[in-house]
């Protein structure tokens, strides 16, 4: 073989190798790490991951019965957030992304404390749980994510057409609030109920909220869930338009949670029956969004509340004050019962998902011992529908039966409550408030409770979770409506009250919120709730703002002119004096600096 031939053969071999490398997808190399790397990954995993994902990676850790969505089962090789085609395994970078930033509004946090090497080792260890990672056929080439198209009106309009054509609304709802007709029926490949993304609350997107994240989700689907891939059915450009449309549905990048509602003053009467005028009144009032979390302090704990935030506004006139609250709910449950004090048995805290429903250590027995014998709450008797007996008798069986048959029935209705202190804190101790969980014996709270089955406001006085009594001291009116996945409840009460809190002008009044989603079997203390926030009644007469601004400008201007005038006069006097002395003005031009 000549030298030339050898060189050529070498070159050809290099080209062939390069071609082979190019032909293989970038992430296709089976890379399971070394024994040492997996061992190091196990140490990190056992400390930070096993409690949810299970020490054997089967998604069955200590926390599993009480979180929703369930922790990933690594033995199945099924992953939701990937850049690879539907059904394929994720790349290491896909896994790294979720470990680093987590999945918002789920129990998966980001792990910024882990080093890059630690994360890589954990990835190797996680991959060892599923034999799929040894199979080259399960690897797919990551998709390319193009730069987002400019979000023009045409693009959004085209996206809307795609949204309709592809039937997105069936799950995500007409305006994207996650309230499509199919939403209550959805389950993942393990049969666990799964919540549809509320497209209007981008900060809750579990796979990330950037346009690239949204594009990725359309293009690869979420394995193991009903969210399909549109890689085959939609052109790239249409997917980009759809991204722009979905993005346009969003209510901002961030929830911008606030701590205060400003109640604005109006001369107009507040008439709850006159929808248009009412809407116009609230149009002028700023909206504040407040975070809601599960009530997990008192028995009847709610580890996975459906509703994560509520928006609130307030207006007032000479005699009355009105509050409007809005939140998203995938279905209006308006046929069941509900009340702030409805009992919740211990097994229902985790919806009976844990197998230890009736055998939760020794303490659940204690719990039933303490509470099980009590009468059903008065409201049930009052309304006369499915009473407490029925509930304690076979409620659990019903539920377990229903879980297989389909979505849970509307045993419980949606509901909402505003909570105020029964009286304001005395002078000198402004921080003193009633216990934010339904008050305490010394400092009671008033609840403006609306069971959305009836749509009227009932008032309760709470002296702690075990002592919630109906009151009729004040008349609170309410109107309610459910539209496209959003509840709106508007309350009205006289500003002054003899029994409860009065709303004086320029007063900070503590308030807190509770929301019950009947679909999620929320009732009684199993609810979403907020900390104490405030409503501030803005002064009815706004101090003029123009005058102080103009005054400041004028004062500064006058001072300036005075200085200019004095300096010039002095210069003139000096010049006059010097002229008289026969010298020139040149001295002032001599640079003194």
Partner 1 sequence: MLGLNLPVVIVLAAIGGVLAWRRANTLTWLLYTWVALWAFFKYGFAVPIPQSVATIYLGITGLALVCFASSSRERLSETVQPIVRLILEPRYRLALAGLLVALPALAAYNVYADLNVPLEAPGFGREVHPPPPTEMTVHDETVDMATAENPYLHYKHDDPELYGEHLENGRRVYYENCFWCHGDGMGGDGMFAHGLNPVPSNFNDVGTLPILQSSFVHWRIAKGAPGLPGAGTPWDSMMPAWEKFLTTEEMWDVNLFIYDFNGYEPRALGQH
Among 284, 499, 556, 576, binds partner 1 (CB under 8 A): 556
- Which residues does 122 contact at the CB level (< 8 Å), separation at least 6? 41, 44, 45, 49, 99, 114
- Which residues does 204 contact at the CB level (< 8 Å), separation at least 6? 104, 105, 197, 198, 308
Name the 3-class secondary structure at 480: strand
- Distances in Å between the alpha carbon of 304 and those of 69, 108, 125, 412, 464? 9, 13, 29, 16, 22
CA–CA dist 73, 336 (Å, integer): 35
Site mask for partner 1 (CB under 8 A), range 317-356, x = bound: ----------------------------------------
Question: Is 354 in contact with 70 (CB distance < 8 Å)?
Answer: no
Residue with tokens 């919630």: 468
Nearer to partner 1, 4 or 47 (CB): 47
Q: List the interface residues with partner 1, window 354-413 (CB under 8 A).
A: 361-363
Q: How far is the CB of 84 from partner 1 (least distance, A)?
A: 27
Which window, 163-171, 222-230, 398-406, 541-549, contacts partner 1 (CB under 8 A)? 541-549
Q: How far is the CB of 137 from partner 1 (least distance, A)?
A: 34
Which window, 156-164, 295-303, 326-334, 389-397, contacts partner 1 (CB under 8 A)? 295-303
Which window, 192-200, 243-251, 407-415, 549-557, contacts partner 1 (CB under 8 A)? 549-557
Contact flag: residue 592 with partner 1 (CB under 8 A): yes
Cis upstream peptide for 40 (omega within 30°): no
Which window, 29-37, 105-113, 148-156, 162-170, contacts partner 1 (CB under 8 A)? 105-113
Work out the number of other CB atoms within 10 angstroms of the CB of residue 41.
24
CA–CA dist 490, 325 (Å, integer): 6
Contact flag: residue 299 with partner 1 (CB under 8 A): yes
Name the 3-class secondary structure at 397: helix
Q: How far is the CB of 445 from partner 1 (least distance, A)?
A: 10
Site mask for partner 1 (CB under 8 A), range 425-454, x = bound: -----xxxxxxx---x--x-----------
Pairing relationship of beta strands 309-316 and 260-265 according to DSSP bridges: parallel
- Distances in Å between the alpha carbon of 19 and those of 6, 78, 91? 20, 31, 22
Nearer to partner 1, 48 or 454 (CB): 48
Q: List the interface residues with partner 1, window 241-260 (CB under 8 A).
A: 257, 259-260
Residue with tokens 């907020």: 530
Nearer to partner 1, 7 or 572 (CB): 572
What's the N-to-C CA distance of the chain in angstroms? 87
Among 561, 562, 576, 583, binds partner 1 (CB under 8 A): 561
Contact flag: residue 297 with partner 1 (CB under 8 A): yes
Site mask for partner 1 (CB under 8 A), range 59-78, x = bound: --xxx--x------------
Please report the DSSP string for 97-131 in residue order: HHHHH--TTSS----TTS-HHHHHHHHHHHHTT-G
Contact flag: residue 51 with partner 1 (CB under 8 A): yes
User: Which residues contact partner 1 by CB under 8 A?
Assistant: 47-48, 51-52, 61-63, 66, 105-107, 109, 111, 113, 257, 259-260, 262, 291-294, 296-299, 303, 361-363, 430-436, 440, 443, 508, 530-534, 536, 545, 548-557, 560-561, 563-564, 567-568, 571, 588-589, 592-593
């Amino acid at each position: 073989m000549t030298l030339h031939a050898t060189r050529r053969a070498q070159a050809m071999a290099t080209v062939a190798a390069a071609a082979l490398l190019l032909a293989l997808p970038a992430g296709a190399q089976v890379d399971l790490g070394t024994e040492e790397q997996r061992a190091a990954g196990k140490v990190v995993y056992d400390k930070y991951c096993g409690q949810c994902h299970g020490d054997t990676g089967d998604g069955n850790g200590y926390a599993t019965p009480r979180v929703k969505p369930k922790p990933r089962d690594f033995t199945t090789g099924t992953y939701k957030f990937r850049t690879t085609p539907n059904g394929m395994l994720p790349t290491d970078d896909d896994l790294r992304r979720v470990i680093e930033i987590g999945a918002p509004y789920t129990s998966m946090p980001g792990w910024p404390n882990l080093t890059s090497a630690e994360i890589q080792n954990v990835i190797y260890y996680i991959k060892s749980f599923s034999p799929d990672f040894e199979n080259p056929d399960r690897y797919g080439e990551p998709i390319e994510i193009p730069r987002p198209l400019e979000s023009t009106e045409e693009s959004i309009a085209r996206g809307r057409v795609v949204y309709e054509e592809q039937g997105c609304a069936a799950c995500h709802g007409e305006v994207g609030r996650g309230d499509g007709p199919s939403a209550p029926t959805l389950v993942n490949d393990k049969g666990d109920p799964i919540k549809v993304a509320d497209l209007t609350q981008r900060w809750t997107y579990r796979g990330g909220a950037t346009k690239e994240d949204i594009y990725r989700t359309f293009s690869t689907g979420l394995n193991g869930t009903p969210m399909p891939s549109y890689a085959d059915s939609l052109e790239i450009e249409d997917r980009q338009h759809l991204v722009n449309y979905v993005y346009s549905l969003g209510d901002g990048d961030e929830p911008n949670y606030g701590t205060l509602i400003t109640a604005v003053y109006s001369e107009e009467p507040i008439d709850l029956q006159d929808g248009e005028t009412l809407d116009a009144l609230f149009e002028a009032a700023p909206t504040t969004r407040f975070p809601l979390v599960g009530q997990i302090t008192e028995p009847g704990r709610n580890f996975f509340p459906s509703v994560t935030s509520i928006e609130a506004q307030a207006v007032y006139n000479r005699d009355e004050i009105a509050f409007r609250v809005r939140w998203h709910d995938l279905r209006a449950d308006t046929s069941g019962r509900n009340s702030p004090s409805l009992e919740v048995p211990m097994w229902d805290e985790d919806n009976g998902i844990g197998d230890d429903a009736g055998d939760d250590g020794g303490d659940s027995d204690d719990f039933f011992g303490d509470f099980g014998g009590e009468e059903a709450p008065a409201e049930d008797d009052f309304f006369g529908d499915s009473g407490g007996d029925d509930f304690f008798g076979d409620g659990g069986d019903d539920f377990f039966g229903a879980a297989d048959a389909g979505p849970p029935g509307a045993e419980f209705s949606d509901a909402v409550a505003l909570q105020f202190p029964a009286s304001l804190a005395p002078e000198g101790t402004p921080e003193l408030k009633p216990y934010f969980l339904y008050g305490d014996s010394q400092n009671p709270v008033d609840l403006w409770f609306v069971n959305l089955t009836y749509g009227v406001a009932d008032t309760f006085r709470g002296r702690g979770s075990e002592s919630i009594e109906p009151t009729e001291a004040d008349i609170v009116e309410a109107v309610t409506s459910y539209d496209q996945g959003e509840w709106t409840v508007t309350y009205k009460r006289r500003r002054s009250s003899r029994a409860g809190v009065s709303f004086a002008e320029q007063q900070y009044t503590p308030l807190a919120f509770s929301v019950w989603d009947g679909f999620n079997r929320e009732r009684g203390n199993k609810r979403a709730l907020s900390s104490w926030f405030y409503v501030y009644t803005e002064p009815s007469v706004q101090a003029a703002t123009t005058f102080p601004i103009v005054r400041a400008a004028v004062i500064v201007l006058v001072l300036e002119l005075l200085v200019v005038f004095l300096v010039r006069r002095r210069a003139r006097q000096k010049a006059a004096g010097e002229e008289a002395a026969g010298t020139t003005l040149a001295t002032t031009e001599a640079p003194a600096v």
